[in-house]
Amino acid sequence: MKVNYDKDVDAVYIELSKAKPEGVIEVAEGINIDVTSDGKIVGIELLDATQKVSLDTLLTYEIAADSIADWHQRDEKDQRSL
């Protein structure tokens, strides 16, 4: 996941995938979801971002150790099944 903020236009783009979006779903004024043709979410765009979210919160992240351990265990299990 990659988060970009453009202060010149006060927009945030949260990139969830490198896939090319083929459509946009507007879920509310200034909140757009980019999707592929098969409905997978590629990214989320927030216009007038500072009015919608706290940039301090959005542009920081926290990783829970439990979730990393769960992910790692699932990944190991998937690798063994190959």
Query: Is pLDDT above 70 for 18?
Result: yes
Provide the residue range defining the domain that includes 28. 2-80
Distance CA 74, CA 28 (A): 35
Note the pLDDT of residue 82.
Answer: 56
Tokens of 76: 């190991």
Query: Is pLDDT above 90 for 7?
Result: yes
Note the pLDDT of residue 1.
Answer: 86
Question: For residue 1, what are the contacts with CB-CB under 8 A and spacing of at least 6?
Answer: 14, 15, 16
Query: Is pLDDT above 80 for 15?
Result: yes
Query: Is pLDDT above 80 for 4?
Result: yes
Tokens of 30: 């200034």
Distance CA 31, CA 41 (A): 13
Note the pLDDT of residue 61.
Answer: 74
What φ, ψ does residue 51 adopt, rounded to 5°? -85, -15
- The total of structural domains in the chain comes to 1
Place of tokens 């879920």: 27
Per-residue model confidence as pLDDT tens digits over 25-79: 999 999 999 999 999 999 999 999 999 998 888 878 776 666 666 766 766 666 6
